[in-house]
Amino acid sequence: MTDTHHHPENDSQFAGLTVNSGVVQPPSVNPYMQRGRRRKPMPEVSELVEGILKGDVTMLSRAVTLIESTAPDHYARAQEVIEKCLPYSGKSKRIGLTGVPGAGKSTSIDVFGLHVLKDPEARLAVLAIDPSSERTKGSILGDKTRMEKLSVHPNAFIRPSPSAGSLGGVARKTRETIVLCEAAGYNNIFVETVGVGQSETAVHSMVDFFLLIQVAGTGDELQGIKRGIMEMADGIVINKADGDNIPRTQLAQAQFRSALQLFPPTPSGWKPEVLTYSGYFELGIPEVWDMIDRYFKFVKDNGFFDQKRRQQARYWMYETIDEQLRSHFYNDADIAATLLKLDREVESNRRSSFTAAREVLDRYFNDIKK
Ligand code: GDP
């Protein structure tokens, strides 16, 4: 390569040193790359609402993302979307499903869902409340990969549990997502949860029918199930009634039936039923759904359906107030710093719990809230 440029280092005083001109380098940035492709900006409220009402799944998903967001300006916009969708919501069957891990929830939701979707008019949204996702930063409930057949069905919409925040926060977001799904035309809503804790109460307070999925096995099925969860159930279904397991499921069915007789009458007047089925082998599915249909007819006829929904609306108003007060309080930087200090003082016995609480509450009510 001939050197056409002058380099001072090539002067005779620097003999022994030869500097060649460089090679032209290709640009380090791909000129063909299009900018701004990574994340589309969040559409305007009106665009989201319009899309949702047309049943546009992309707009629905984006709006749910807005609900799940923790950014304060997102919160306000999400509330606007919900408010505008509210008049179009409410026309669905809301069904809660719970069961311990391994009970067969995902297998069952898959086949129950396909059963529901045999009706060409049916649209199904599967949502979830998973309090553990707070810790594991990712929810397995409502995960598409667990519901193989539903996940590819054009009339099904599957959304995993919102993962951030308290149980109250997670539950509120799921409840708000129900509103959007209904406005988008989903006339069947499943809300899944793990049958181990408090989340059942939250699910129970947002659904019309609460289904408890059980498995038979050890002979003492009733142990380990919290009485409160059984009391909430409108139906108990014992899964895995197939092969050698059939006699065990029948025994469990008899046990559950007699246990339920000892319970006080339900506020709806409906007598919870106990059925057996096999999610895996798809046995007894129409019978389970027949029970659920009969329940809906029963409570719509006796007025309990509307009464319960009105009660639930009130419940969610108070829940939302509680949740917002808590988060406003705990998310305040000044309160957080004061709490950190008081926390140590209380722990080391230098302060009483009550005066510490008083101090931080005074600070909140007198200085911050104003
Ligand atoms: P989940 O944790 O409640 O969602 O439970 P899965 O649906 O993942 O099921 C747990 C295990 O039970 C899986 O290995 C399933 O294949 C199995 N299973 C689910 N339903 C049935 C059933 O009806 N019969 C039998 N024999 N196994 C089942």
pLDDT single digits (tens) 241-282: 999 999 999 999 999 999 898 888 899 999 999 999 999 999
Name the residue with higher pLDDT: 143 or 171: 171
166 Cα–ligand 1 center, Å: 29
322 Cα–ligand 1 center, Å: 37
* Fold for the domain defined by 90-301: Rossmann fold (3.40.50)
pLDDT band per the 50, 70, 90 thresholds, residue 3:
very low
β-pair partners for 211: 97, 235
Which residue has the CA at smallest separation from atom 7 of ligand 1?
104
Q: Do domains 40-88 and 90-301 have the same CATH topology?
A: no
96 Cα–ligand 1 center, Å: 18
Residue 18 has pLDDT above 90, yes or no: no
Which residue has the CA at smallest separation from atom 14 of ligand 1?
102
Residue 355 has pLDDT above 70, yes or no: yes
351 Cα–ligand 1 center, Å: 52
β-pair partners for 157: 125
The domain ranges of the chain are 40-88, 90-301, 316-369
Which residue has the CA at smallest separation from atom 17 of ligand 1?
104
SS3 string of the chain?
A: CCCCCCCHHHCHHHCCCCCCCCCCCCCCCCCCCCCCCCCCCCCCHHHHHHHHHCCCHHHHHHHHHHHHCCCHHHHHHHHHHHHHHHHHCCCCEEEEEEECCCCCHHHHHHHHHHHHCCCCCCCEEEEEECCCHHHHCCCCCCCHHHCHHHHCCCCEEECCCCCCCCHHHHHHHHHHHHHHHHHCCCCEEEEEEECCCCHHHHHHCCCCEEEEEEECCCCCCCCCCCHHHHHHCCEEEEECCCHHHHHHHHHHHHHHHHHHHCCCCCCCCCCCEEEECECCCCECHHHHHHHHHHHHHHHHHCCHHHHHHHHHHHHHHHHHHHHHHHHHHHCCHHHHHHHHHHHHHHHCCCCCHHHHHHHHHHHHHHHHCC
Atom of ligand 1 nearest to the CA of 101: 2
Name the residue with higher pLDDT: 338 or 39: 338
CA gap 204, 143 in Å, rounded: 21
Which residue has the CA at smallest separation from atom 26 of ligand 1?
240
Residue type at 281 in one-letter notation: F
CA atoms within 13 A on the CB side of 326: 11
Residue 195 has pLDDT above 70, yes or no: no
Name the percent of the chain lying above pLDDT 70: 81
* Fold for the domain defined by 40-88: 1.20.5
186 Cα–ligand 1 center, Å: 26
pLDDT single digits (tens) 111-142: 999 999 999 999 999 998 876 654 444 455 65
CA gap 160, 146 in Å, rounded: 11
Q: Which residues line ligand 1 (CB under 6 A)?
A: 99, 101-107, 239-240, 242, 278-281
